[in-house]
Chains A and B, each alone.
Chain A
Amino acid sequence: MSGKTHQYAFFLGCIAPNRYPGIESAAIKTSRNLGIELLPLKGASCCPAPGAFGSIDLKVWYAMAARNLVLAEQMNTDIALICNGCYKSIWEVNHKLKHHDELRDDVNEVLKEIDMEFKGTINVRHLAEIYYDEKICGVAKLADSITTPLKGVKIAVHYGCHLLKPRKEREFEAEGVGDTENPMWMEELVAALGAEPVQYRNKMQCCGAGGGVRGYDIAHALDITNEKLINMSEVGADAITEVCPFCQLQFDRGQIEIGEKFGVEWAIPVLHYNELLGLAQGMSPQDLALDLHGISCEPFLNKLR
Chain B
Amino acid sequence: MAKAKGYSDENLSVRLADRYYRTEDASPDFLKNVEKIGMTIAHMCYQCGTCTGSCPSAPRSSYRIRKFVRRAVLGLENDALTDPDLWLCTTCYSCTDRCPRDIAPTDIIMAMRNLAFKREIVPRNFLNTVQFIYKTGHGVPNNDVNRAARVRLGLEAEPETTAKYAEFIPGIQKILDHYGLKDKADEILAEGQ
Query: Does B94 interact with chain A (Cβ within 8 Å)?
Result: yes
| Contacts of B71-117 to chain A: CB distance below 8 A | 87-94, 96-97, 102, 104, 106, 110-111, 113-114, 117
CB of A212 within 8 A of CB of B87, answer yes
Chain A residues touching B, range: 35 or more
| One of B8-16, B23-31, B41-49, B166-174 at the interface | B166-174
Residue of B nearest to A11 (CB): B161
Interface string of B119-161 (1 = CB under 8 A from A): 0001101111110010001111111011001101111000111
Q: Which single residue of chain A is at the shortest CB-CB distance from B157?
A: A21
Contacts of A55 in B (CB 8 A): 87, 110, 113-114, 117, 122, 126
B139–A21 contact, CB under 8 A? no
5 closest Cβ pairs, A-B complex: A215-B125, A17-B159, A206-B92, A43-B168, A211-B91
Q: Is A198 an interface residue (CB 8 A)?
A: no
Answer whether A46 and B159 are a contact pair too, CB < 8 Å, given A167-B97, A209-B90.
no
The answer on a CB contact under 8 Å between B126 and A41 is: no
A206 near B137: Cβ-Cβ < 8 Å: no
Contact at A44–B90, with CB atoms within 8 Å? no
Contact (Cβ within 8 A) A60 B181: yes
**Known contacts A18-B138, A57-B181, A114-B171: does B110 contact A208 (CB below 8 Å)?**
no
Q: Is the CB of B162 within 8 A of A45?
A: yes
Mark interface residues in A40-59 (1 if CB within 8 Å of B CB, else 0): 11111110111111111111
Nearest A-chain residue to B172, judged by Cβ: A45
Closest residue of A by beta carbon distance from B117? A56
CA distance A161 to B151 in the complex (A): 32
- The distance from the CB of A49 to the nearest CB of chain B, in whole angstroms, is 5
Whether a CB of chain A sits under 8 angstroms from the CB of B178 is yes
| Stretch from A118-126, A137-145, A186-194, A220-228 contacting the other chain | A220-228
Number of A-B contacts (CB under 8 A): 212
A60–B37 Cα distance when bound, in Å, is: 12
Which segment, of A73-81, A150-158, A284-292, faces chain B?
A284-292
Q: Give the chain A neighbours of B102 by CB distance below 8 A.
A: 168
Select one of B57, B153, B165 contacting A25, CB under 8 A.
B153
Closest to B161 in A: A44
Contact code string A282-305 (vs B, CB < 8 Å = 1, else 0)? 000011110110000000000000
B56 at the interface (CB under 8 A from A): yes
**Other CB < 8 Å A-B pairs besides A42-B165, A45-B137, A223-B60, 15 of them?**
A12-B161, A40-B160, A46-B139, A46-B140, A54-B110, A57-B114, A60-B175, A110-B175, A209-B90, A210-B92, A212-B87, A212-B123, A215-B128, A216-B88, A292-B145
Q: How far is the CA of A12 from the CA of B93 in the complex (A)?
A: 23
In the complex, A43 Cα to B138 Cα: how many Å?
A: 11
> CA A42 – CA B164 in complex, angstroms?
8
**B110 with A58: CB separation less than 8 A:** yes
Q: Does A93 contact B (CB under 8 A)?
A: no
**Which of chain A's residues has its CB closest to B176's CB?**
A60
Q: CB-CB < 8 A to A168: which residues of B?
A: 97, 102
